Chains A and B, each alone.
Chain A
C-alpha cells in the first residue's frame, strides 16, 4: 500500500484558540483527500468528537480515530489514540483526572497519572526542537513500551533533513518505530491567517506583536497525498496506515445504561413502572378510574415498553419524588411529560383529560427520538435537587451537560479588533454596528458611522477574520440543568471537567452530542414562578388554613378567565408582558387549552410567521376556517388551521412536504441551532418544493418556512406550552382569589417577572388590598400577611424591602425582637447587634418611626448611637435637641423610593399634577373616556421600555401615573428623532394619538418631552427589555 496515509495527530477548534477548523471540516477534507483515517486528537478533550463522528458518517471517511494530545508537566508532548472501547474509557478517565486536578479550562498531567500506562491506547511521542528523549523522560518509553512511536512531523522549517536523520538515530537507539504525522491545526492552508489570529487571542497580544509565538508557515494543514509522498520516506507513511489498522473503535460502540438502583429487588423496570403508575392512578382518581384513562395508560405503557424507556421515566420519577418529599414544587414539561403515565407518576399536574392529546404526538416510534422531560423546580431550591442527584448517584455517575460557548458577532469583533490593534473605544463603537451583521457583512455606512473606513485594509482584514471566527467554540460552560445519569462511571463514557461554579462538574459534551449518541438526559431547571406559587400556598395555609396544591386549585373558574380577558394579569406567569396583556382581550381565553395557545402564540415564531392575526380573525369568526387538505386539517384543526406549535410545523413538513419523520427531526434540530451554526438553506428548498409538488400554495409554504425561521432558538412546542399553561392558570387563580398572598409571595421571590415591586404593590392596592409599611416592630424579614379588623388579609412589607440591609441582620432583628418589641433605637444595637450602617438604612427606610419619629429624627438618633464602652457601661449623655425639619411629602416619597423602591404615599406624579396640568396632560384613568383617534397628551414615570426584535424597531414604553399605566408606542423614526428623550427621560411627556381597540388602549407618540427635572432627586429605574 505505497503512499497511503492516515493522519494521526490533528486538532480541531475544540482545542480552543489553537485549532482553526471545525471537526466537520477536517473530516470532510480528509475524506476528500483520500486519507485512510483521520484521528481527532484535541488537547485533553473529547468535546469535538461527536461532531466528527457524525461528519465521518456523512462524508464517508474511511475511519475516524479518537485520541487526545497531552502536554506533560515536563513539557513533553504525547498523542494517545484509543485502540478499542477499553482504550477509549482509559483515555476519558485520564482526561477526567487531569482536568479535575486543575482549574477550569486547564489540566495538569503528572507522571503518576500515567502510571497505569493507558491500556489499549497507542501513543505517539512528539519530539520538541531537540529531537531527543532526555534520560529523565525515558519512563515514557518504559511506560508505553510496545505501543509507542516517534512522531516525525516535517513542517518545512528548514531543518527537515536534520530532523529526520536525528530521529532515525534516536529510533535506532531507543528501539522505537517512526511514524509520519502532521500536527494538523487546520483543514486547509488558507486557515493559517485565522490560526495566527487565534494564537494571538490566546496569548492576549496584538498580531504585530505576536512575533515568534505564531507559526512560521501554514504547513499544519491536511496535506495532499502527493505532497506527503515528497516529504516523507515511504516507510513512515506506511506506518501510519499500520497504526490505523490496529485501531478498531467507533463511538457507535458506546452504550448507555440507565442506573439500575431505581428498580427494587424482584422487579423489572416494566413491572415496577406499571406498579407505580397504577398506584398513582388510584391516587388521582380515588372515586374510580374512568375507562378512558385505563385505556390510555395501557396504550402508553405498551409504547414505553416497546421502546424500553421505562428506566427514563423511573429516573425522572425518582427526582420528582424527592422534590415532593422536601415540599419543593415542581412541574414537568416536554414531549413525554404530558402523558397520562407522567400524570399518574406525579411528574406533571396537567390532567390529560383536560386536553385531548395523544402521547404519540410526543413519543414516536418512527422518529426514534429520545423522550424529553424537563422538570422545573422552585428556582431558589433547585440546588437541593441537584445536590440530591449528586448524592444519590455520586459525582462519577451524574454530571451536567456542557454548553459550548461559541463566538458571536460581537465577541468575535471584540477579540479580532483587539488583536488588530484597534482601541477599546473603536471596538466598542464597531460592536454597536454588529447589530447590522447579516451573516456576511456589516453595512458600510455603519462602519463609517463608527469613524472607520470600510475600505481600509485593516477593516477588510477585520471583517474577514470576524466572519471566519463566528461560530468557533471558545470555551465550555455548564448547561442550565441538563443532567446525565449513568449506571457505570461517566468517565468511561465521556470526560468530566470542572465548571466555573465550585462543586460543579460538567461532561465535555453538549446537549446535541448527547442526542446524537442517544444518551438520555433530564433537565433540572429553576423557575421563579414555582417559588412564588409555593409561597402563596404556604401563606394561604398559614393565614386561613386552606390547603392548595397545583392539582387542587379549582379548575376552569370563570371569574379567573374574566380577569384574564380583561388583561388584568400583572405578576402572573407568562401572560403578563405588555404584548400578552394587549392580546388577552382580543383572544378572550375561556378554557385551559386557550391558555396553551396564548402561551405559545406571542412568541417570535408565530409573530414572524404572521400567524397571530389570522388566528385572531378565525377565532372571532371574522374569517372562515379552512384547510388546504384533509391531511393538513388533521394537523391544524385544534388551532383553527393556523400552525402555532413547533410540533405542528414538524408534522406539516411530513404530511404536506413529504419529509420522513427522521428528516423532520433533523429539521427540528437545525431549527434550534440555525442562528448559532447557520444552515437551514437545504431545508428551505426541500420544504417549499415538497409542498409545491403536493399542490400547496407557494404563499402557504413560504409562511411555514418563515415560521420555522422565527422559531429559531425560541422554538416553543405544545408539550411545553401545555405545562406552562397550568402554571399560568394557577397563578391567575391566586391573583384573582388571593391577591394579598400572591403579591406577598411575588415580592418575596423578587427579582422575577416583568414588573418591579413598586408596580406589583400599586396593582394590589388597586385591587383593594391594604399594604402596610416596613415597621421595625411588625415586619418579618419576608413580606407577610396580617389580618385587619375584619379579618381580611393585609400585606405587610418585610425588612427584605430595605435596600442595604442584609438578610442576616434582618433575621436578627426579628428573632431578638421578643414579645415587647423595641422601644429605643439603642436596643437595636445592643440586642440585634446592628452596626451604624445598618441602623442608617433602617432609619432612612422609615422603619424606625415607632422608636424615633420621622426619618430625619430617626437618622439623627441612630447616627449618635455608639457601642457602650466597657469602662462606662451606661453613660447617659446629655444631647442637645437638633433643629431638624420635618420631611415634606415629596421628601418622604423620594426617600421611600430610594430605600424600598416603592412608596405607600401618594404617587409622585400626583404631586406634580398641578405642573402637568399646564401641559394638559391627561391621566391614565381618563383615557377610556376619550374617543378613539383623538389627539392627547399624557405623562408619567417611565417604567419599562421594550424593543422586541420582532416589532421592526418599534419601542413600547410603559408610563405610570397615579391612576394606572399608559402604553405608548414609539415608531422607529420618531425614536430616532427623540433619541435623547427616549433614552434619558424618567418622567416622560407624550403628545400623540389615542388608539382604542376594545379594552386595549395605546397612545401612538408624535412628540416626546423629557420632564425629568420635575422629579428632583427621585430615582426610578426603568426595566428595559430588548
Chain B
C-alpha cells in the first residue's frame, strides 16, 4: 500500500536560495518529524527486531476453517486482498473481484477487511511483546518493532530470543516475516523483503540492503513507478544515483529514509503502551465488619479512581468491588451507570443503595476496586448559575439519575424505557428498551398521526364469545362504533396479519378494540380497552 508522505518542510520549498548553497542542501538534516526519544546523539548500539505480518488482514478476520479470502473495496468493486492456502490452491488470487473469486470457488468464505480488528490484533500482539522488550513500537498497520539490544542477555542470546518470539507468533496464529538489523527501517525493509536476516553491524547492513527490491520500501506509487521507468529496481540502484539529482526529482524524504535505514541519520520511534484500567486494593490491618467504615474505604478508593480517570480524561460505565475475606471466596459487587462517568460522589451514591442490600458473610480484610473498560469522557459544559437557584433542585428531576438509582435497587432487568416503533401491526408498534444500553436513541423519531390505539393493550388478543356472528363481552352484545380499520401487513416475517379492527362499546359504556381475521370472519377477538 502506498502511503502519503507527510510532506516535509524541505529548505528548497521554503525560499529561493543561491545555487551554490542549494547543492549542499540535501545533505542538511530537515526538522525531524518526531521528537527523538534518545537525546544523546552518541552512538548507542541498538538492535531492532522487526515483525512484519503480511497476512494480518486475513489472520485478524478469520472465523472458520473453510477457505477464506479477505476482500476490500477498491474503486467501487470488492476485490480480493488476501487468501489462505486453500483458496490459493483453488486459484483465488489477490486483485480478483469478489465475483471472480466466487466463480472459482463457490464455497469461498469472504470476509470484509476490518482495519479495526487488525489494529486490535496488532495491539494484542504488542502487549504480548512487551514481555521481550521495554520498547515496542507499532511502526505501521502491519509492522511491529522491538528494540532488543537490552533484552539479549535476559533471554539467553539472540537465537534464543528469536526462537521464543517466532514460536509465540506461530502459536498466536500469525504468519510473520522476521528480520533483525541495527536500524528500524533497515529491519522493516528486510522483513518486508522476506529476508530472514540477522544483521548486527552497519557495514553488513549496507551490503544486504543494496540488494532489496524497491517494492519493500513502501514508497508512494508515483516515485516507485518513476524509478522503475528509469530501470532502477533495487536500493543499490537508488544509492548509485547522484544524490542531488535524486532529491531534485523525488524530494528529500526518500533520501532521508535511505539514510535512516543505513544508519546515517537517527530514526527516533515512539514507544507503545498498553491502555490502562484502574485497579486498586486497600488492605486492612485487621478484619473489619463495620459497614460505615467499609463504605469510607470504598469512598477513598473511588476518589483515587476519580483522580486516575481525571488525569487521563477518561470515564467508565462499570465498576466492580471485591470484598476479600480471610476464609471463603470474595464477595463481588458490580455497578453500572447509563453514561460513562468518573465522579466519585455519584458512584458512591449508587454504591450506597446497593451496599445496603449486600450480604457480607464474613468480616472483610481487603477491598479491591477495578474499573471496566475506560472510554474517552465527553465533558459536559457546566451551567453558569446566574439566578442563584439551587443546583440540586434540577438534579432531583433528572430522569437519568432516577433510572440509575432504580436500576441499582431493583436490577437492570426490571427497568425499561418504552420506545415507539414505526409499524402498522399494533403489537409491534412499541417495544421495551434497556436503559443502560443507549440512552440517547430512545427518543421518538416518528409519531403516527390520526390513529386511534387503546391505551391498554392486552398482551395477547382474547377470543370473544359470539352470538350468531356478533361478538359478546361479558355476556352482553357489543355495538360496533367505527371501522373497519383493515390491517394487512407483516408478510415479511412469520407474523403477518390480515384483520379488520373495530371500535365497539359494551352496554356499560366501555369502549373496546376488537378485531376479526379476514380469513375467519366469525371469530372475534378483544385486543384492548380505550381509556
- Which A residues are within 8 Å of any B CB, using their own CB? 129, 156-159, 161-162, 189, 192-193, 196, 207-208, 211-219, 420, 424-425, 428-429, 432, 449-451, 457, 461, 840, 843-844, 855-857, 859-860, 863-864, 866, 869, 871-872, 875, 877, 879-887, 891, 895, 979-981, 983-984
Considering only CB atoms, which chain B residue lies closest to A428 in the complex? Answer: B99
Considering only CB atoms, which chain B residue lies closest to A210 in the complex? Answer: B422
B-chain residues with CB within 8 Å of residue A886 when the two chains form the complex: 231
The reply to whether A859 and B226 form a contact with Cβ atoms under 8 Å apart is yes
- A129 CA to B450 CA, complexed, in Å: 8
The reply to whether A158 and B491 form a contact with Cβ atoms under 8 Å apart is no
The reply to whether A211 and B102 form a contact with Cβ atoms under 8 Å apart is no
| A988, chain B: closest CB distance, angstroms | 13
What are the 6 A-B residue pairs with the smallest beta carbon separation, nearest first?
A980-B91, A158-B485, A211-B422, A880-B242, A156-B486, A856-B231
Binding-face segment, B116-124, B204-212, B244-252, B348-356: B244-252
Considering only CB atoms, which chain A residue lies closest to B248 in the complex? Answer: A864
| B425, chain A: closest CB distance, angstroms | 9
B-chain residues with CB within 8 Å of residue A980 when the two chains form the complex: 90-92, 104
- A219 CA to B485 CA, complexed, in Å: 11
The reply to whether B482 and A158 form a contact with Cβ atoms under 8 Å apart is yes
The reply to whether A216 and B424 form a contact with Cβ atoms under 8 Å apart is yes
Interface presence of B284 (CB below 8 A): no
Task: Choose from A216, A844, A895 the contact partner of B487 (Cβ within 8 Å).
Answer: A216
Considering only CB atoms, which chain B residue lies closest to A450 in the complex? Answer: B106
A-B contacts, CB under 8 A, total: 145
- A211 CA to B449 CA, complexed, in Å: 14
Q: 19 additional contacts, CB 8 Å, given A189-B488, A215-B489?
A: A129-B450, A157-B486, A158-B485, A158-B501, A196-B492, A211-B421, A216-B486, A216-B489, A424-B78, A449-B106, A451-B107, A855-B231, A857-B230, A859-B226, A860-B249, A863-B230, A863-B249, A881-B242, A882-B245
Given contacts A208-B493, A984-B93, contact A218 B241 (CB under 8 A): no
The reply to whether A984 and B91 form a contact with Cβ atoms under 8 Å apart is yes
- A162 CA to B231 CA, complexed, in Å: 85
- A866 CA to B12 CA, complexed, in Å: 13
B-chain residues with CB within 8 Å of residue A879 when the two chains form the complex: 242, 244-245
Considering only CB atoms, which chain A residue lies closest to B109 in the complex? Answer: A451
Interface presence of B438 (CB below 8 A): no
The reply to whether B423 and A211 form a contact with Cβ atoms under 8 Å apart is yes
Given contacts A158-B485, A218-B488, A844-B229, contact A212 B241 (CB under 8 A): no
Interface presence of B484 (CB below 8 A): yes
A-chain residues with CB within 8 Å of residue B237 when the two chains form the complex: 885
Interface presence of B483 (CB below 8 A): yes
- A420 CA to B248 CA, complexed, in Å: 58
B483-516 to A contact mask, C-beta < 8 Å, 1/0? 1111111011110000011010000000000000
The reply to whether B98 and A882 form a contact with Cβ atoms under 8 Å apart is no
Given contacts A208-B493, A875-B19, A980-B90, contact A217 B487 (CB under 8 A): yes
The reply to whether A158 and B484 form a contact with Cβ atoms under 8 Å apart is yes
B-chain residues with CB within 8 Å of residue A159 when the two chains form the complex: 450, 482, 485
| B70, chain A: closest CB distance, angstroms | 12
B-chain residues with CB within 8 Å of residue A158 when the two chains form the complex: 451-452, 482-486, 501, 503
Task: Choose from B16, B104, B450, B486 the contact partner of A219 (Cβ within 8 Å).
Answer: B486
Task: Choose from B230, B486, B503 the contact partner of A884 (Cβ within 8 Å).
Answer: B230
Listed A/B pairs (7) with beta-carbon separation below 8 Å? A207-B492, A420-B492, A860-B230, A864-B245, A884-B232, A980-B104, A983-B104
The reply to whether B450 and A891 form a contact with Cβ atoms under 8 Å apart is no
- A983 CA to B92 CA, complexed, in Å: 10
B-chain residues with CB within 8 Å of residue A883 when the two chains form the complex: 240-241
- Which B residues are within 8 Å of any A CB, using their own CB? 16, 19, 78, 90-93, 96, 98-100, 102-104, 106-107, 110, 226, 229-232, 237, 240-242, 244-245, 248-249, 421-424, 446, 448-452, 482-489, 491-494, 500-501, 503
A-chain residues with CB within 8 Å of residue B486 when the two chains form the complex: 156-158, 216-217, 219
- A350 CA to B137 CA, complexed, in Å: 78
| B370, chain A: closest CB distance, angstroms | 38
B-chain residues with CB within 8 Å of residue A162 when the two chains form the complex: 482
The reply to whether A981 and B91 form a contact with Cβ atoms under 8 Å apart is yes
- A89 CA to B340 CA, complexed, in Å: 67
B-chain residues with CB within 8 Å of residue A211 when the two chains form the complex: 421-424, 446
| B126, chain A: closest CB distance, angstroms | 31
| A286, chain B: closest CB distance, angstroms | 59
| B245, chain A: closest CB distance, angstroms | 6
Task: Choose from A212, A840, A843 the contact partner of B422 (Cβ within 8 Å).
Answer: A212
The reply to whether B450 and A882 form a contact with Cβ atoms under 8 Å apart is no
The reply to whether B230 and A129 form a contact with Cβ atoms under 8 Å apart is no
- A855 CA to B237 CA, complexed, in Å: 16
The reply to whether B492 and A461 form a contact with Cβ atoms under 8 Å apart is yes
- A216 CA to B484 CA, complexed, in Å: 12
| A613, chain B: closest CB distance, angstroms | 32
- A843 CA to B228 CA, complexed, in Å: 12
A-chain residues with CB within 8 Å of residue B483 when the two chains form the complex: 158
A-chain residues with CB within 8 Å of residue B232 when the two chains form the complex: 884
| A742, chain B: closest CB distance, angstroms | 34
B-chain residues with CB within 8 Å of residue A881 when the two chains form the complex: 242
- A214 CA to B16 CA, complexed, in Å: 68
The reply to whether A882 and B242 form a contact with Cβ atoms under 8 Å apart is yes
The reply to whether B484 and A156 form a contact with Cβ atoms under 8 Å apart is yes
A-chain residues with CB within 8 Å of residue B100 when the two chains form the complex: 983
- A859 CA to B100 CA, complexed, in Å: 37
| B202, chain A: closest CB distance, angstroms | 23
- A192 CA to B492 CA, complexed, in Å: 12
- A608 CA to B424 CA, complexed, in Å: 52
A-chain residues with CB within 8 Å of residue B493 when the two chains form the complex: 208
- A311 CA to B450 CA, complexed, in Å: 61
- A887 CA to B229 CA, complexed, in Å: 9
The reply to whether B241 and A457 form a contact with Cβ atoms under 8 Å apart is no
The reply to whether A859 and B99 form a contact with Cβ atoms under 8 Å apart is no
The reply to whether A193 and B491 form a contact with Cβ atoms under 8 Å apart is yes
Given contacts A158-B482, A884-B232, A887-B231, contact A432 B99 (CB under 8 A): yes
A-chain residues with CB within 8 Å of residue B230 when the two chains form the complex: 856-857, 859-860, 863, 882, 884
Q: Which of A213, A860, A885 has the most CB of B within 10 A?
A: A860
Considering only CB atoms, which chain B residue lies closest to A458 in the complex? Answer: B492
| B12, chain A: closest CB distance, angstroms | 11
A-chain residues with CB within 8 Å of residue B423 when the two chains form the complex: 211-212
| A839, chain B: closest CB distance, angstroms | 11
| A982, chain B: closest CB distance, angstroms | 9
| A458, chain B: closest CB distance, angstroms | 9
Considering only CB atoms, which chain A residue lies closest to B421 in the complex? Answer: A211
The reply to whether A884 and B492 form a contact with Cβ atoms under 8 Å apart is no
- A433 CA to B149 CA, complexed, in Å: 58
A-chain residues with CB within 8 Å of residue B488 when the two chains form the complex: 189, 192, 216-218
Considering only CB atoms, which chain A residue lies closest to B18 in the complex? Answer: A872
A-chain residues with CB within 8 Å of residue B103 when the two chains form the complex: 432, 979, 983
B-chain residues with CB within 8 Å of residue A984 when the two chains form the complex: 91, 93, 96
Q: Which of A157, A449, A855, A871 has the most CB of B within 10 A?
A: A157
Q: Which of B230, B232, B448 has the most CB of A within 10 A?
A: B230
- A881 CA to B242 CA, complexed, in Å: 7
- A539 CA to B347 CA, complexed, in Å: 89
Considering only CB atoms, which chain B residue lies closest to A881 in the complex? Answer: B242
- A984 CA to B80 CA, complexed, in Å: 13
- A983 CA to B102 CA, complexed, in Å: 12
The reply to whether B98 and A425 form a contact with Cβ atoms under 8 Å apart is yes
A-chain residues with CB within 8 Å of residue B110 when the two chains form the complex: 425
A-chain residues with CB within 8 Å of residue B226 when the two chains form the complex: 840, 859, 863
- A857 CA to B489 CA, complexed, in Å: 73
B-chain residues with CB within 8 Å of residue A860 when the two chains form the complex: 230, 245, 249
Considering only CB atoms, which chain A residue lies closest to B88 in the complex? Answer: A980
A-chain residues with CB within 8 Å of residue B245 when the two chains form the complex: 860, 864, 879-880, 882
- A399 CA to B121 CA, complexed, in Å: 61
| B440, chain A: closest CB distance, angstroms | 19
The reply to whether A855 and B241 form a contact with Cβ atoms under 8 Å apart is no
- A428 CA to B77 CA, complexed, in Å: 11
Considering only CB atoms, which chain A residue lies closest to B242 in the complex? Answer: A880
